[in-house]
Chain A
């Protein structure tokens, strides 16, 4: 066999073998789905991992944070459910690198959010963010995140007010921290306060996903308010005429509305025969509490539209 034929054969073999190896790796990955994450439990001691990392604990923390994001993403994509590895992964990540701020900010949200969006462990989220604050006392964002968890998931308004107040005392804290603390102390459970919090998140985040999530919550708050207002108008119409309106046009003709009301996405609201106001496309408006059709079921994974 000439040298030329050998090199040609070797080149062909190289390309063919690499292509087959890619297919085999994909098969192996299917068999070992989540295996790398499961192995976390074998060495779950951050102290031991720190020693094993031979001083490269920052890099190992980055690897574990990436694994955490992958784990959360894969579980979330699969419709939520069991997030049992989330807390140990976050624990290892933050113990390896206590200054990894995104691990507290996003990790706290992953842990505290109700299933299927998150693990539904707000108390663990509080512990995580409190650890983050002890390790990074000068970062006001962590106090904000803590207040957010107290407010949204624990409904603990004094706790939220305290977190915002502590954060407001940090040098260079955003001025709205003091306002939030006051607002929380006086009007903890009101929709206006929730709107303020989500607006603050929307304005301060640099992450597109967080921004889109905040926008979705702001739209949901708007819909809840719109539906309550519109149903109040329906009630007025009922009192005046003794019957329920057949459509929004009836209410407009009676001078109670200026036209067909639209949701924040520009789609018209619908009026049911029993006088209830519902949104046209509930899938596009996750987190809405009022205005959902009676036979509507939430999708496993909420549809979050881009912020803009």
Chain B
């Protein structure tokens, strides 16, 4: 990795880890996993199901919240504190700054997810006293959740490159909700004809396809995820992230910072 990007990424990671909000959210995620254990005990025969569903959902929601709320401040905070000028006055290009910020937050989220995943597996071990071979599928769901975080981080960064933190949060969260219904959107578009259908199709393919990245229910029921789906989802998440980061660089390069 380019050393300048590496340094910015490392600093972003350190800053995020030092952030108390981040610690609180991790604590909340672990707390929710703990709650899953309690709910599991009062349910009949669905303890494992509840733990997996609730645990993975908590990982997803807390990660999305972290990605959005840290991601929207990555650029805005640097401009507010005037630290961006110090960074850019050194031999650091704007695109390197964006890439460094992205990798820093993505790394933070991977570390967070790892801790939360440990919490989920610990809770699962607690309720069922042993892990099954099918539990390895939970790792696939966690991997897809990480892919979602990577995409959301890029989107939050995109919005923070041209908008206020509050609006960036609204945009990013809205896009997450819309993206979760991406398959429905494409379905509706395929039923619509004419100019409206063409427009709907464009929008349906432009929004992030989060629906295919959510396999929580599937793995909770012990169903396998097709290897091709893992491959295509990985490729899609990476390509989409590159597209969004390219858009962010495009905007940030042209932005007047004076």
Please say whether chains A and B are actual partners in one complex. yes
Contact call A17/B93, Cβ cutoff below 8 A: no
In the complex, how many residues of chain B place their beta carbon closer than 8 angstroms to a beta carbon of chain A? 38
Query: Given the complex, which residues of A lie within 8 Å of B253, measured CB to CB?
Result: 3, 6-7, 10
Kindly identify, within residues 164 to 178 of chain B, every residue whose CB is under 8 Å from any CB belonging to chain A. Answer: none
Contact call B206/A18, Cβ cutoff below 8 A: yes
- Asked whether B111 is an interface residue with its Cβ less than 8 Å from the other chain, the reply is no
Tell me the nearest residue of chain A to B240, going by C-beta: A21
Query: Given the complex, which residues of B lie within 8 Å of A43, measured CB to CB?
Result: 217
- Asked whether B246 is an interface residue with its Cβ less than 8 Å from the other chain, the reply is yes
Digit string of B7-42 for contact with A (CB within 8 Å is 1, else 0)? 000000000000000000000000000000000000
Query: Given the complex, which residues of B lie within 8 Å of A42, measured CB to CB?
Result: 217-218, 220-221
Name the distance in Å between B6's Cβ and chain A's nearest Cβ: 18
Kindly identify, within residues 1 to 35 of chain A, every residue whose CB is under 8 Å from any CB belonging to chain B. Answer: 1, 3, 6-7, 10-11, 13-14, 17-18, 20-22, 24-25, 27-29, 31-32, 35
Complex formed: what's the CA distance from A10 to B186 in Å? Answer: 27
Contacting residue for A36 out of B211, B243, B246, CB 8 A: B211
Contact call A14/B243, Cβ cutoff below 8 A: yes
- Asked whether B242 is an interface residue with its Cβ less than 8 Å from the other chain, the reply is yes
Name the distance in Å between A53's Cβ and chain B's nearest Cβ: 13
Tell me the nearest residue of chain B to A17, going by C-beta: B243
Interface of chain A, helix or strand or loop or mixed? helix
Name the distance in Å between A96's Cβ and chain B's nearest Cβ: 15
- Asked whether B163 is an interface residue with its Cβ less than 8 Å from the other chain, the reply is no
Digit string of B211-223 for contact with A (CB within 8 Å is 1, else 0)? 1100001101100
Digit string of B181-216 for contact with A (CB within 8 Å is 1, else 0)? 111101110110000000000000110010110000
Contacting residue for A25 out of B190, B221, B236, CB 8 A: B236
Name the distance in Å between B248's Cβ and chain A's nearest Cβ: 8
Contact call B232/A6, Cβ cutoff below 8 A: no
Asked if A29 meets B240 with Cβ closer than 8 Å, knowing A10-B250, A24-B232, the reply is no
Tell me the nearest residue of chain A to B250, going by C-beta: A10
Asked if A7 meets B254 with Cβ closer than 8 Å, knowing A14-B247, A17-B242, the reply is yes
- Asked whether A272 is an interface residue with its Cβ less than 8 Å from the other chain, the reply is no
Interface size class of A (residues with CB under 8 A): 20 to 34
Name the distance in Å between A238's Cβ and chain B's nearest Cβ: 52
Name the distance in Å between A302's Cβ and chain B's nearest Cβ: 20
Query: Given the complex, which residues of B lie within 8 Å of A70, measured CB to CB?
Result: 187, 190-191
Contact call B250/A14, Cβ cutoff below 8 A: yes
Kindly identify, within residues 45 to 79 of chain B, every residue whose CB is under 8 Å from any CB belonging to chain A. Answer: none
Interface of chain B, helix or strand or loop or mixed? helix
Contact call B250/A18, Cβ cutoff below 8 A: no
Of A61-69, A87-95, A211-219, A259-267, the segment with at least 4 beta carbons within 8 Å of chain B is: A61-69
Contact call B226/A10, Cβ cutoff below 8 A: no
Contact call B211/A17, Cβ cutoff below 8 A: no
Contact call B250/A25, Cβ cutoff below 8 A: no
Name the distance in Å between A56's Cβ and chain B's nearest Cβ: 11
Contacting residue for B242 out of A7, A13, A35, A36, CB 8 A: A13
Contact call A66/B217, Cβ cutoff below 8 A: no
Contact call B239/A24, Cβ cutoff below 8 A: yes
Contact call B250/A11, Cβ cutoff below 8 A: yes
- Asked whether B235 is an interface residue with its Cβ less than 8 Å from the other chain, the reply is yes
Contact call A31/B228, Cβ cutoff below 8 A: yes
Digit string of B228-258 for contact with A (CB within 8 Å is 1, else 0)? 1100110110011011001101100110000
Complex formed: what's the CA distance from A67 to B184 in Å? Answer: 7
Complex formed: what's the CA distance from A3 to B243 in Å? Answer: 18
Asked if A29 meets B243 with Cβ closer than 8 Å, knowing A10-B253, A24-B232, A36-B211, the reply is no
Tell me the nearest residue of chain B to A74, going by C-beta: B187
Query: Given the complex, which residues of B lie within 8 Å of A28, measured CB to CB?
Result: 209, 212, 229, 232-233, 236
Complex formed: what's the CA distance from A66 to B212 in Å? Answer: 18
Kindly identify, within residues 125 to 173 of chain B, every residue whose CB is under 8 Å from any CB belonging to chain A. Answer: none
- Asked whether B95 is an interface residue with its Cβ less than 8 Å from the other chain, the reply is yes
Name the distance in Å between B256's Cβ and chain A's nearest Cβ: 12
Tell me the nearest residue of chain A to B211, going by C-beta: A36
Digit string of A157-180 for contact with B (CB within 8 Å is 1, else 0)? 000000000000000000000000
Query: Given the complex, which residues of A lie within 8 Å of B250, measured CB to CB?
Result: 7, 10-11, 14
Complex formed: what's the CA distance from A18 to B187 in Å? Answer: 20
Name the distance in Å between B24's Cβ and chain A's nearest Cβ: 23
Name the distance in Å between B119's Cβ and chain A's nearest Cβ: 23
B residues apposed to A, CB below 8 Å: 93-95, 181-184, 186-188, 190-191, 205-206, 209, 211-212, 217-218, 220-221, 226, 228-229, 232-233, 235-236, 239-240, 242-243, 246-247, 249-250, 253-254
CB<8 Å pairs between A and B, sample of 28: A3-B94, A6-B94, A7-B253, A10-B246, A11-B250, A13-B242, A13-B243, A14-B243, A14-B246, A17-B240, A18-B243, A20-B239, A24-B232, A24-B239, A25-B186, A29-B183, A29-B212, A31-B232, A32-B183, A32-B212, A35-B212, A36-B211, A42-B218, A43-B217, A63-B181, A66-B184, A66-B188, A67-B184
